[in-house]
Amino acid sequence: MENKGLGRRQLLAGAGVVAAAAVTGACSRTSTGGAADGAWDREADLVCVGSGAAASSAAVTASAAGASAIVLEKMPILGGTTAKSGGVCWIFNHFILREQGIADPKADALKYMVRYGYPRHYDPASPTLGLDERRYKVAEAFYDHGAAAVDHLREIGAVQFKQFRLFQVDRPAPDYADHLPENKVPTGRALEPAVGSGSSEGGGSLATQLHAFLKQKNIPVMTDTKVTRILRNEEGRVIGVEAEQGGKTLRIKANKGVVFGTGGYSHNVELCNTHQPYVYGSCSLPGSTGDFIPLAQEAGAMMGDLSLAWRSQVVLGEALANRGVGLGAFVLPGDSMILVNKYGKRIVNEKRDYNDRTQAHFPYDPAHEEYPNHLMFMLFDERSIDAFGGAFPFPVKKSEQPHLLEGASWDELFGKIAAQIKGWEGRTGGVRLAPDFAANAKATIAKFNDYAKAGVDPEFDRGKYLYDREWHLLFSARREGTKFPPNPYPNTVMHPFAESGPYYCVVLAPGTLDTAGGPQINEHAQVVSARGEPIPGLYAAGNCVASPTGQAYLGAGGTIGPAVTFGYIAANHAVKS
């Protein structure tokens, strides 16, 4: 079978980033004075900071409501990490579900979101499901306005959507926790752009369509313009921003409000080292440096959970060479493949989604004062690399993956692993293989082989749920020309390892798509103060705020769905204020 999954992987690799084009249009300048004496250089009803899904959704919504808007982007290109993503938008109760007669009632939907996103707080008997009132109302707002945001974009002609489907089986994609009993609609909530979808355009298509609408409406889009200060009047209301462009300070007035959609802080090493368990590399664009956090703090904002992130494993060697990686190890390919820790033991279902699987790196062992899973070792054989070559991190040609290790036997491979990570000790906290790694790993492989033959993984339930099996079809489509036959065993995501080498390894470490922690917002996307009150005129959405869905990556498009929704909410509230 031809490996047609590559197109989807290209979406995630970031092909088609939107080219920047500074747009001029309906943006007024003050007729007298300059920035030094407090006059305004530019003015609009809504100032939108950033140009990804969140800020662009806000600008589009404001424009459609008859308000003026301006978009400020600090990078030379538009679209942010949205343009590098797959462009999928995860939404409750959207128009296609309704057309198909599939009920997605609010009570069940919120239980799924809170159970998955806030497992330590979840209480189904509580009227707020165990959350404080503010976080509950934010979660509720995502359900209440997500479908309306998508419908609005469609109705005004800004973006058209279709249902995201796993084309290998032509079925709607399963949610990332399709198996939770609270999830009553386990497939079909993910949408993707109807223009450019299924190709390398992906998130570039979503961003391009939003920016094309702004251009059509003569909404100014200013690139290479970094916001450096939030301006407030004597009553504390946000009335505009200061920004740097080409060495010049601009003062930009916001008559209705300022909406930040500036991304997370994955490329701010200091913030990551302070707030994250660990981030070696990120798929986010270099502009994700957490600019909004100090600006919001200066405005008196309450910080939400800063430790949250949308996580993915990364190839350690790549991330050490360049923190900005092109691809994360999203859905691990292969069937004769496992992950083991420094003790040679499996510690996770290798087919779980990237966000949840990456969290298996972080448990602390108090008996040995260490993080035993800090690095993971992806072990596989000739079958997996030949049958699924090209599915990252498997290369099509071995020479294309410089961090691939190969050994004629397990012992030779384990020796090469030990040598490779020894060279990285100064950057990994000194991780070394345990003395009994080889013996344990061989026992782990033998045990896995038995599981594969039986078709059941009693330790981690690999292949038990729909997610594992159907996403495996997408990311482990057999390569055209492979010499290996289809998996004949009862569980298609598991196949015994070959009895003889060669064998292979790629060392994986924790990374992010981007962080998901920042200032706290309310149900209107208003940033709240340390006292819990809205800061008038200040709004935010996307990865720069505390995630509305907690730690849950609900399904494909689990970041863009809330970004589009809360950008829409922010603009509507600001325009009406």
Q: Give the tens place of pLDDT for each residue, 269-308.
A: 999 999 999 999 999 999 999 999 999 999 999 999 999 9
What class has domain 312-512? alpha beta
| Three-class secondary structure assignment of 493-521 | CCCCCCCCCCEEEEEEEEEEEEECCCECE
The half-sphere exposure of 58 on its side-chain side, counting CA atoms within 13 A, is 39
Write down the residue that tokens 């970004």 correspond to.
Answer: 563
Instruction: Looking at 181-338, list the stretches that DSSP marks H as alpha helix, in order from N- to C-terminal side.
Output: 203-216, 269-275, 292-298, 316-321
- Which one has a higher pLDDT value, 12 or 77? 77
pLDDT, residue 24, reads: 34
- SS3 label, residue 534: strand
Q: Where are the domains of the chain?
A: 1-21+62-308+518-577, 312-512
Q: How confident is the model over 430-456, as pLDDT tens digits? A: 999 999 999 999 999 999 999 999 999
- Block residue for tokens 């290998």: 168
CATH of 1-21+62-308+518-577, one of 3.40.50.720, 3.40.190.10, 3.50.50.60, 3.90.600.10: 3.50.50.60
- Give the distance, in angstroms, between the CA of residue 183 and the centroid of all CA atoms in the same chain: 21
Q: Residue 561: is it exposed, middle or buried by C-beta count within 10 angstroms (0-12/13-18/19+)?
A: buried
Q: What is the pLDDT of residue 39?
A: 92
Integer CA distances (angstroms), 555 to 187, 264, 291, 418, 471, in order: 9, 19, 27, 36, 11
The answer to whether the beta carbons of residues 358 and 380 sit under 8 Å apart is no
User: How far is 540 from 546, CA to CA, in rounded Å?
Assistant: 10
The reported pLDDT for the residue numbered 141 is 98
Is 481 exposed, middle or buried (CB count within 10 Å of its CB: 0-12, 13-18, 19+)?
exposed
Q: What is the pLDDT of residue 167?
A: 72
Q: Report the C-alpha gap between 170 and 434 in whole angstroms.
A: 45
Task: Determine the pLDDT at residue 35.
Answer: 39
Q: How far is CA 405 from the centre of its chain?
A: 29
Are the C-beta atoms of 11 and 197 separated by less than 8 Å?
Answer: no
Residue 369: half-sphere exposure toward Cβ, Cα within 13 Å:
0
CA 160 – CA 150 distance, rounded (Å): 9
Say what the alpha-carbon torsion angle 410, 415, 416, 419 is, to the nearest 10 degrees.
Answer: 160
**Rounded distance, CA 214 to CA 224, Å?**
18
Mean pLDDT score, 236-253: 97
User: Which of 254, 307, 337, 276 has the alpha carbon at shortest distance from 510?
Assistant: 276
% of the chain residues with pLDDT over 70: 92
Amino acid at 546: A
Whether pLDDT at 199 is above 80:
no
